[in-house]
Amino acid sequence: MKTAMTFIGIGALFLIPAVAPAYLVHIATFIAIYTLPVIGLGFLTGFTNRISLAQGAIFGVGAYVTALLTTQYGWSPVAAFLPSIIGAVLVATVLGAPAMRLAGLYFVMATIAIHQIVWIVLMNWIDLTNGPQGVRSIPPLAIGSLKLETPHTYYYAAFGAALVSFFLARRIVSSRLGLQLRALSEDELASAMSGVPVYRAKVVALALSAAWAGAGGFLYAHYMRFVHPEMFTLEPSILFLTMAMFGGYRSLIGMVIATAVLESATEFLRPFGEFRMIVYGLILMLGMMFFPKGVLTLGPVWHRWFGRSRSANA
Amino acid sequence: MLAQILIGGIATGCIYAIVGLGFTLVYRSMRMVNFAQGQVFMAGTFLGLVIANRFELPAVPLIIIVGAVAFLIGLIVEKLVFRRLYHNHEVFVVGSIGLGIVLTNAIRIMFPEPVPFPKVFGTGIVTVGGAFFQAAYLWVVGLTVILVVGLHALFSYTKAGRALRAVASDIEMAGAVGVDVRKAIAQTFGLSFAVAAIAGVLIGPLYFVSFDMGDMIGLKAFSAAVFGGINSIPGTILGGVIIGLLENLAGGYISSAYKDLVAFIILLLTLVVRPNGLLGRATPVKV
């Protein structure tokens, strides 16, 4: 039954470009792309309890690696996929591994430093990154002679990647490493005593989160066909963090739903014009004020209210 | 050249120090970082701008009035917003970031373009040993010293200030011995808003003011607070001045493009090597 539902769901998502208007396909493509860095954040935050505000920068590293390889060095986009991931993992582990010993607020502070360092380098290393000019005319993703130039065709690439990354993440979570991570997220000291290589597992979680972000950045660069440092400010980091947080970090499906809801919400806020960002800020602020345990905790609340009204009737 | 760089560095450092104090005051009491502090500073600058344009006050009364109004706003915002965010630090981080986004974009709608701030410190040029700089720099440094002395006096010699210190050192014990903890926390936020707005009035006349001025200064001030010790007021001042100096030295002798990196490299190194900062106490959780 459950498998059948999964297949029906995936099939329905595959049909989106055939039936939905272009604008919805565009949003759906973004949702698929953002799923990757958000799932990545799930590895880090869900299993090591460390909140990162650097995910947007690591996402940017992935986007820049492919942008530069394909435009400056003539690589084909498909060949640049692995280097994007490796670049993101390298930057994240070199800067972030020493910080994995920190916990709580101190780790958040360190990720802000990492984010700013990456961003300032993207902005100022003009010889390499083209600085504030950004990198233009990134070639479209092409498989053989098939060029994925329109949102409709690109949707399949993004959705396919999101799907693969989702199931890969599920495998990792249920693997031995996933068990170690779950153990250390409960109690680092106790799991160290039971033979979990705590520090190594945490660095692996960091590397995994960066790999997912790098892959997301790769997809983003070839969809936008243009990258600019301003795309990778703290704003996407905050967005990814909120998506992972509202989704509950540990629940992959929860994070995917939260990504879809928040991304569509910010799109549907467009009619608010310049008030859009104010509304977005208010959503973050009020969401945290009134649903401190994530929006998915609305479920139990709903249940309680529903239950109460029923018992009142009885 | 060197004198010029040093004086500029100290003046910038003083701004980082005062904005950083806003982080420190809140962190000491709540063990939370208010990530809207940079935007509060920016909004405080605009508060100063509006008051200065309307009443044409001289510098000192302007600063006192802006500080007082910001203090009241801080009390109100604490009551309406922050009070509901104390669950844990992630909630506080994201909630305060949301507040920062609201502030930035509200000001952006009112003032979409950078605006000049009235030259409340005059336009004189001072020469010291071959270095030329605006007289306003002296105001910045002098008023920072006065502000720090004032804060020290407040915390050492007044009942309200001692209550704040008691809450900062142990919130439960402070409550047990009869400190009104809620009031003290509200006043802490009020003070952090007041110092942020005062920093805004100090920096305003030096540059144009714009809705995004709080982002970078806020993050650098935060680095300064962590570097000096985020629970130590003297540490924050020291951290701010050192970062201001190093940044200006790097800008003068190494590369002006990368001078913004200084603060964040210092922040990362501090956290990895000495998370308590230069003068801070207490240990964060390390595993």
The pLDDT value recorded for residue A135 is 87
Alpha carbons A157 and A219: distance in angstroms, whole number: 8
pTM above 0.80, yes or no: yes
Domain for residue B278, yes or no? no
Domain of residue B86, CATH code = 1.10.3470
| Residue B165 vs residues A306, B157, B184, B235: alpha-carbon distances, Å | 46, 11, 9, 16
* Structure confidence at residue A55 as a pLDDT band (50, 70, 90): very high
Cβ neighbours of residue A272 under 8 Å, at least 6 residues apart? A278, A279
Segment A147-159 shows an average pLDDT of: 82
CATH topology of domain A2-268: ABC transporter involved in vitamin B12 uptake, BtuC (1.10.3470)
Q: How many CB atoms lie within 10 A of CB B256?
A: 12
Segment A117-141 shows an average pLDDT of: 87
Domain for residue B280, yes or no? no
Cα angle B260, B261, B262 (rounded to 5 degrees) comes to 95
Q: Assess whether pLDDT exceeds 80 at residue A5.
A: no
Total number of domains constituting chain B? 1
Which of A8-22, A78-92, A167-181, A205-219 has the least mean pLDDT? A8-22
Segment A149-178 shows an average pLDDT of: 87
Q: Beta strand pairing status for B208-209 and B125-128?
A: unpaired
Per residue in A223-234, pLDDT (tens digit) is 988 999 989 988
The highest-confidence range among A102-111, A285-294, B11-20, B199-208, by mean pLDDT, is: B11-20
Backbone angles phi, psi at A218, to 5 degrees: -60, -50
* Structure confidence at residue A274 as a pLDDT band (50, 70, 90): confident
Domain for residue B186, yes or no? yes
Distance from the Cα of A302 to chain B's closest Cα (Å) equals: 21
Domain for residue B188, yes or no? yes
Domain containing B53: what range? 2-273
The pLDDT value recorded for residue A305 is 47
Per-domain residue ranges of chain A = 2-268
Q: Do A289 and B101 touch (CB under 8 A)?
A: no
The pLDDT value recorded for residue A308 is 43
Segment B147-162 shows an average pLDDT of: 88
The pLDDT value recorded for residue B103 is 93
- Residue A245: list chain B partners with CB under 8 A: 90, 94
Per residue in B42-84, pLDDT (tens digit) is 999 999 999 998 888 888 889 999 999 999 999 999 999 998 8
The pLDDT value recorded for residue A296 is 54
Per residue in B259-273, pLDDT (tens digit) is 888 999 999 998 888
B275 — contact with chain A (CB < 8 Å)? yes
Domain for residue B282, yes or no? no
Alpha carbons A143 and A85: distance in angstroms, whole number: 19
Domain for residue B80, yes or no? yes
Q: Assess whether pLDDT exceeds 80 at residue B104.
A: yes
Domain for residue B283, yes or no? no
Q: Assess whether pLDDT exceeds 70 at residue A309.
A: no
B104 — contact with chain A (CB < 8 Å)? yes
Q: Assess whether pLDDT exceeds 90 at residue A86.
A: yes
Q: Do A285 and B102 touch (CB under 8 A)?
A: yes
Segment A254-283 shows an average pLDDT of: 83
Nearest CB to A110 within list B85, B89, B271: B271
Alpha carbons B189 and B197: distance in angstroms, whole number: 12
- Residue B277: list chain A partners with CB under 8 A: none
Closest CA to B58 of B115, B118, B120, B107: B120
Which of A115-119, B256-260, B266-270 has the least mean pLDDT? B256-260
Q: How many CB atoms lie within 10 A of CB A257?
A: 18
Q: Do A110 and B264 touch (CB under 8 A)?
A: no
Query: Could you tell me what percent of chain A has a pLDDT over 70?
Result: 92
Domain for residue B57, yes or no? yes
Q: Do A105 and B258 touch (CB under 8 A)?
A: no
Q: Beta partners for A102? A: B286
This complex has an ipTM of 0.85
* Structure confidence at residue A288 as a pLDDT band (50, 70, 90): confident
Query: Could you tell me what percent of chain A has a pLDDT over 90?
Result: 25
